[in-house]
């Protein structure tokens, strides 16, 4: 009874042009908020359905046999539908990569930071140019490796060195190193 | 809608009268594209491209709906459903597909001429700012639709185009990569991306059609502009849309469709890229990735940043490319000259043609492999593009002395016979006149 009298009082003052909260205002705000929260909740499935589905995520790890890759060679494989470059660096290529001073690099990383301890000759990167996602050349026999002996992206001319680091061209970052581990001396599990 | 001498709709048959009282759709059409819409009498052929663009939107929707009946939106089936099923097996499939492919190009040709018409004649100026901005919305929707449509055949250019264009988003720090993965539904273009692009490619043309209606609605409030840029003053300055402009637009669209037919029949792949007849291969990038010709100028701006400057070069490229279009939304406030038509602005006119040349050169720079010459031209022309809109236009519109304007549209049409022209300020005058009599 008390609340009723109170609100009646409030609404009567509001009716005279004061800024009091009327019962109707409260109901309006409550109703619209309720519908709004419901609307937002309904939006959630419409947004999450766009994210990678379970079958796409299920391809999260890939095993690669690297026993046949000789120094100076490389193979191209796939992980999560993206190309992966596995390259067995020659001692000369490793020397070249180590000889570069970090201050000359756009994305400062040493070859050792980009490989696993004890496996410094195995350079494993995504074969996806960090500019706009083309596949750089240089992994296959006879492909253009670019002036730095690593990879060359034909789309917009990004040039990578023997450690897969960006040296020249529009790409902002080094070729990405995926998560991986050596499950045996000749097998790598990516992802 | 716009002028008080617009002829009101009068249903003739009892049925039309009955209908008019219940659902006045014929009345709406009559006022929008019939005898009830007065249009300046001096429109030149540059004013025919809006109507033509509408025809091409219709052609795209019709051929597209039919093609969708035979298309498989799967990574295994897409390429063959287009190149084997539609091109060889489906009756008249080759014709429908080539019509759709080239229809997209001709839609863009019509729209580009329509846009440059607007730039020359100041069609974006008050009171038509919203007409211009809605037009830009249509243009942006067209770009999205065309891009997604180009992905559907799942050839090499389709795949790598999708990779590069969604790669734009990864340029943004932190949120970029998650957004890219969200848009693609995976880490690279695949099944999920293809099916959602197909779904949206089917949807967006109808959104475009809806915005076209808003575009025309906003246009009909002040009425169409005209080559002198002088406001309509009285009935003598206008002709009813039907039959005068329906006839002219119809004639012109016929001529335009003839060119379209010649390309569709004799050079159907001239505007496309041969690499799109190679099935998509996620492990091998084509030697050069170029988008469709209508994106070349923007592609040139995108790749004209080759060095870092505070932000990474890649982000600059993406920002500049988006800015080059978004900038046009501010055009009505960048060009402050009260004179609309470029015909009466001698200095503006020269810069306008320089801009046309600049955009053509940008197109050339974006249309091929990034050689040092193409990069240099792209950088110079990209910089000039921004200079034109952000510096030259505001300064020219302040300093320029325009040529004397005609007193009225009628005066400009009748040339030396100024005596016959109506003096200003008689726009409110009612009653029949020579023009209406002629129209009937």
> Based on the domain organization, do A39 and A87 belong to the same domain?
no
A67 in contact with chain B, both atoms CB, cutoff 8 A: no
Strands (E), B59-205: none
CATH homologous superfamily of domain B41-224+242-289?
Cytochrome Bc1 Complex; Chain C (1.20.810.10)
Tell me the residue range of the domain where A116 lies: 56-190
Residues within 8 A of A (CB atoms), B 48-107 only: none
Interface contact A56, partner B, CB < 8 A? yes
* Same domain assignment for residues A36 and A124: no
B283 neighbourhood in chain A, CB within 8 Å: 76, 78, 83, 127, 135
Q: Which residues of A touch B182 (CB under 8 A)?
A: 50-51
Decide: helix, strand or coil at residue A88. strand
Residues A24 and A109 in one domain: no
Same domain, A74 and A156: yes
**B126-154: string of b/e by CB count within 10 Å (b at 16+)?**
eebebbbbbbbebbebbbbbbbbbbbbbb
**Interface membership of B203 toward A (CB under 8 Å):** no
Q: Which residues of chain A have pLDDT under 50?
A: 1-3, 5, 7-8, 10-15
A61 with A17, same domain: the answer is no
Q: Does the CB of A80 have a partner CB in chain B at under 8 Å?
A: yes
CATH of the domain at A138: 2.102.10.10
Answer yes or no: do A158 and A94 share one domain.
Answer: yes
The token duo for B381 is 């022309």
Overall domain count for chain A: 2
Between the alpha carbon of residue B138 and those of residues B46, B196, B213, the distances in Å are 19, 21, 11
Q: Does A171 touch chain B (CB under 8 A)?
A: yes
Which of these three, A48, A67, A84, is where a domain ends? Answer: A48
Residues A38 and A76 in one domain: no
If asked whether residues A14 and A42 sit together in one domain, one would say yes
Q: How far is CA B243 from CA A154, B159, B229, B249, in A?
A: 55, 47, 23, 10
A37 and A65 fall within a common domain: no
Calculate the CA dihedral of residues B103, B104, B107, B108 and round it to 10 degrees: -140
Task: Give the span between the Cα atoms of B186 and B164, in whole angstroms.
Answer: 15
Contact B378, B321 (CB under 8 A): no
Residues A97 and A118 in one domain: yes
CA distance B160 to chain A (A): 7
**Catalytic one among B52, B123, B224, B341?**
B224
Q: Kindly list the residues from chain A whose CB atom is less than 8 angstroms away from the CB atom of residue B285.
A: 134-137, 153-155
Catalytic residue, from A106, A108, A156, A181: name it.
Answer: A156
Whole-number Å distance between alpha carbons of A154 and B145: 27
In whole angstroms, what is the distance from residue A96 CA to residue A92 CA?
A: 6
**Domain locations in chain B as residue ranges:** 41-224+242-289, 291-428
Question: Nearest CB to A135: which of B167, B192, B283?
Answer: B283
Inform me whether the C-beta atom of residue B368 falls under 8 Å from chain A C-beta atoms: no
Q: Does one domain contain both A178 and A146? A: yes
Residues of A in contact with B288 (CB under 8 A): 154-155
Active site residue A156: yes
Closest Cβ opposite residue A154 in set B192, B283, B285: B285
Q: Hey, is the C-beta of A78 within 8 angstroms of any chain B C-beta?
A: yes
Phi/psi class of residue B240: alpha, beta or left (left: φ > 0; alpha: ψ in -120 to 50)? Answer: beta
- In angstroms, the CA A117 to CA B354 distance is 59
pLDDT in tens, chain B (440 residues): 468 899 999 999 999 999 999 999 999 999 999 999 999 999 999 999 999 999 999 999 999 999 999 999 999 999 999 999 999 999 999 999 999 999 999 999 999 999 999 999 999 999 999 999 999 999 999 999 999 999 999 999 999 999 888 888 888 888 988 999 999 998 889 999 999 999 999 999 999 999 999 999 999 999 999 999 999 999 999 999 999 999 999 999 999 999 999 999 999 999 999 999 999 998 888 877 889 999 999 999 988 887 777 787 778 888 999 999 999 999 999 999 999 999 999 999 999 999 999 999 999 999 887 788 998 999 999 999 999 999 999 999 999 999 999 999 988 888 655 444 445 544 444 443 444 433 33
Rounded CA-CA distance B236/B427 in Å is 10
Report helix, strand or coil for A124.
Answer: strand
Assess whether A21 and A78 both reside in one domain. Answer: no
């Amino acid at each position: 009874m008390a609340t009723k009298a109170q609100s009646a009082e409030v609404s009567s003052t509001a009716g005279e042009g004061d800024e009091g909260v009327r019962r109707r205002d409260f109901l309006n705000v409550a109703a619209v908020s309720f519908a709004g929260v419901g609307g937002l909740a309904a939006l959630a499935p419409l947004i999450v359905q766009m994210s990678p589905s379970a079958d796409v995520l299920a391809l999260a790890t890939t095993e690669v046999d690297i026993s046949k890759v000789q120094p100076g060679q490389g193979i191209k494989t796939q992980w999560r539908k993206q190309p992966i470059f596995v390259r067995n660096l020659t001692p000369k290529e490793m020397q070249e990569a180590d000889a570069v001073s970090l201050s000359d690099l756009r994305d400062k990383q040493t070859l050792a930071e980009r490989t696993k301890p004890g496996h410094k000759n195995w350079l494993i990167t995504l074969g996806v140019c960090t500019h706009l996602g083309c596949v750089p050349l240089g992994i296959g026999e006879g492909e253009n490796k670019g002036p730095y002996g690593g990879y060359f992206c034909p789309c917009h001319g990004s040039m990578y060195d023997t450690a897969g680091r960006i040296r020249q061209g529009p790409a902002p970052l080094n070729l990405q190193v995926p998560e991986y581990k050596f499950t045996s001396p000749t097998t790598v599990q990516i992802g | 809608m716009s002028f008080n001498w617009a002829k009101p709709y009068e249903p003739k048959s009892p049925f039309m009268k009955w209908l008019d009282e219940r659902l006045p759709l014929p009345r709406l059409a009559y006022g929008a594209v019939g005898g009830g819409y007065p249009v300046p009498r001096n429109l030149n052929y540059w004013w025919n491209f809006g109507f033509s663009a509408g025809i091409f939107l219709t052609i795209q929707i019709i051929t597209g709906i039919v093609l969708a009946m035979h298309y498989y939106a799967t990574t295994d089936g897409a390429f063959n459903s287009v190149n084997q099923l539609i091109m060889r097996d489906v009756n008249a499939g080759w014709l429908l597909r080539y019509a759709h492919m080239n229809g997209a190009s001709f839609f863009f040709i019509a729209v580009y001429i329509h846009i440059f018409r607007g730039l020359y004649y100041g069609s974006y100026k008050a009171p038509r700012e919203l007409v211009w901005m809605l037009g830009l919305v249509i243009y942006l929707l067209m770009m999205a639709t065309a891009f997604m449509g180009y992905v559907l055949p799942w050839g090499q250019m389709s795949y790598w185009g999708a990779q590069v264009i969604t790669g734009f988003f990864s340029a943004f720090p932190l949120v970029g990569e998650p957004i890219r993965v969200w848009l693609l539904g995976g880490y690279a273009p695949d099944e999920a991306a293809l099916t959602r692009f197909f779904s949206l490619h089917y949807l967006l043309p109808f959104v475009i059609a809806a915005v076209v209606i808003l575009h025309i609605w906003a246009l009909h409030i002040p009425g169409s502009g005209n080559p002198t840029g002088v406001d309509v003053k009285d009935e003598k300055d206008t002709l009813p849309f039907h039959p005068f402009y329906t006839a002219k637009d119809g004639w012109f669209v016929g001529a335009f469709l003839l060119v379209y037919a010649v390309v569709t029949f004799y050079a159907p792949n001239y505007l496309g890229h041969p690499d799109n007849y190679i099935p998509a291969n996620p492990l091998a990038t084509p030697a050069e990735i170029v988008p469709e010709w209508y994106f070349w100028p923007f592609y040139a701006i995108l790749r004209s940043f080759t060095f870092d400057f505070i932000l990474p070069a890649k982000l600059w490229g993406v920002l500049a490319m988006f800015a080059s279009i978004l900038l046009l939304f501010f055009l009505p406030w960048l060009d402050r000259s009260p004179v609309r038509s470029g015909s009466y602005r001698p200095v503006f006119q020269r810069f306008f043609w320089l801009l046309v040349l600049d955009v053509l050169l940008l197109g050339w720079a974006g249309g091929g492999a990034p050689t040092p010459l193409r990069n240099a031209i792209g950088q110079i022309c990209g910089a000039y593009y921004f200079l034109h809109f952000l510096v030259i236009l505001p300064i020219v519109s302040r300093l320029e002395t325009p040529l004397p304007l005609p007193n009225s549209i009628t005066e400009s049409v009748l040339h030396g016979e100024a005596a016959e022209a109506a003096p200003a300020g008689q726009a409110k005058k009612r009653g029949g006149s020579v023009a209406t009599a002629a129209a009937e």
